[in-house]
Structure 1
Amino acid sequence: MTGDGAPSMPPRRAPRGRAVALGVTMLTLILAALAPPTMAQDLERVPRATRNVTPPGILPGPAVDGPLYREPTPPAPPQPPKWRRFFLPRTTDGATFITKEGLTIKVYGVAPPAVDQTCQRADGETWPCGRTALFSLRMFLRGRAVECFLPPLDGIDRAIAPCRVGQIDVGWWLLSQGWATPDDNATDDYRTAAREARCERVGMWRGAEPDPDCPAVQPAPPS
């Protein structure tokens, strides 16, 4: 059971598939786009040779009319993203961490409710689902370290990244518990977890009208 009485879902290992691969691809494209092009004025100009130093028996190189430039040493390739661990991050909503270093990390693939958001039950009663989602995430963490898949952090103060606690994918957990909805970057696994949570009416969907696309609930067998 969750802290608010909603049934718990079984833990799931953090996927190293589509979400991580998509995150790596996006980070690689961003880093490549930021690399400045080499301009002619940035190259070192080399003085033309004043005499022929070609060894005997070797054909001299072709004559060059224009100026000579020395190609600069290419920069080292950027370090690839990796899982980076953060201890006791501060949580500001149901899917956002702020680390001790001041880095704000939003969990990839999910959209949490705003902290002040309310939800409505089928009987018309409203309840603070946004604050409950934040409280549920804090109860899930229980002081454990959070790992997020990130590039080198130099000059970065905000990021969107897949995150995990142990082997549990935080994004998948939020969706399977009904404390977030999938965003445009969500994988098929994420969308399936969100649909199952809504059909089972857990988390934000507790007490709500059943979705018409969900399978009918079978009555319990007589005892």
Structure 2
Amino acid sequence: MRKAGIAVALTGLAAATLTGVFARDHILAVDLAAQKASEAATAARIVERPVPPPPPLPEVSRRIRPVVPDVVAAPPVGEGGLERVDPRDPLGPLGRARSLSEGPPKETILYRPTTAGAGRFEAQGYSVRLEGVQPTDVGENCTTPEGLSWPCGIHARTAFRNWLRGRALNCVVPPVPGQAEHVTGCTLGKEDAAEWLVSHGWVRAEPNGSYVEAEEVARKARLGLFGPAPITSRQSGD
């Protein structure tokens, strides 16, 4: 009878133990299912938002760094920076160097020149001074070795005018005349106008120029400015 009671007790204890185990497993399964349901609900509430792109980096401006700002100031540069442009065309044929393939510069025929003095003239809107000489001013007076003063500037202009006689000169000048005086060489036919004036003594050559020797010859021959006063000047001075 006692053994039967012990067996019943052990059987009850085993049943209780199994019941506890099953209950614990059931609770764990319920908790796991609830956790998964909660995670699924949370994931459903999450909305994917696009990530905005990063802001652009500031553009580095390559400005000129002044080396000596107190002496040389940097030129103003706009926000757009510097822009390389093509070089402009020259203002005239005298404003640029010529290549060998282009040959010598082209001459322009200047009609009806008006002499403003020995070595200077005007024609077709151009004001020209002959290159390589020192023009003789109209108001210049010369003195002979005998001490006689005479208006050599007027006589020099008259000699230049008589030599030209209104004939056209060939000169290298820009296509369009300007207000400035053009210093250039001119020819009358095949004769150099500046050389004619220097060799006849009516103008002086530029120092170290092409006509220095021609001036020395005129001085030795006492021609033009370096010679005696013309007869008309001597008669007017008596």
Q: TM-score range by the shorter chain?
A: 0.5 to 0.7
Task: Say if 2:162 is the partner of 1:146.
Answer: no
Amino acid at match of 1:134: R
Q: Structure 1 residue 106 and structure 2 residue 129: aligned?
A: yes
- Stretches of structure 2 lacking an aligned partner (at least 5 in a row): 1-75, 95-105, 230-238
Q: Against the structure 1 CA distance between its residues 153 and 122, is the aligned structure 2 distance closer, same or farther, given a 3 Å change threshold?
A: same
Q: Report the residue type matching 1:75 in the other structure.
A: R
Q: Which amino acid aligns with 1:198?
A: R
1:134-173 aligned within 5 A: 134-153=157-176, 155-173=178-196
Distance in 1 of aligned mates of 2:88 and 2:137: 43
Pick aligned residue for 1:194 from 206, 211, 215: 215
Question: Normalising by structure 2, what TM-score?
Answer: 0.53
**Higher share of residues assigned helix:** 2
78, 85, 93: which one pairs with 1:80?
93
Given the superposition, is the C-alpha separation of residues 157 and 113 from structure 1 closer, same or farther in structure 2, using an over 3 Å criterion? closer
Q: Aligned AA for 1:109?
A: G
Out of 92, 102, 123, the position equivalent to 2:116 is 92
TM-score, normalisation: structure 1: 0.56
Pick the structure with more strand per residue: 1
Q: Which residue pairs with 1:175 in the alignment?
A: 198
Greater relative contact order (Cα < 8 A, sep 6+): 1
Superposition RMSD in Å: 2.7
Q: Which residues in structure 2 correspond to 1:42-53 (within 5 Å)?
A: none
Counterpart CA distance in 1 for 2:139 and 2:90 is 44
Question: Take 1:136 and 1:85, find their aligned partners in 2: how far apart are those partners?
Answer: 22
SS of the aligned residue for 1:196 comes to helix
Distance 1:114 1:147 in 2: 23
Gaps of at least 5 residues in structure 1 are 1-38, 46-66, 209-223
1:112-127 equivalence runs, <5 A? 112-127=135-150
The alpha-carbon distance between structure 1 residues 155 and 137, as it changes in their structure 2 partners (threshold 3 A), is: closer
Number of aligned pairs? 144
Which sits farther off after the overlay, 162-171 or 194-203?
A: 162-171
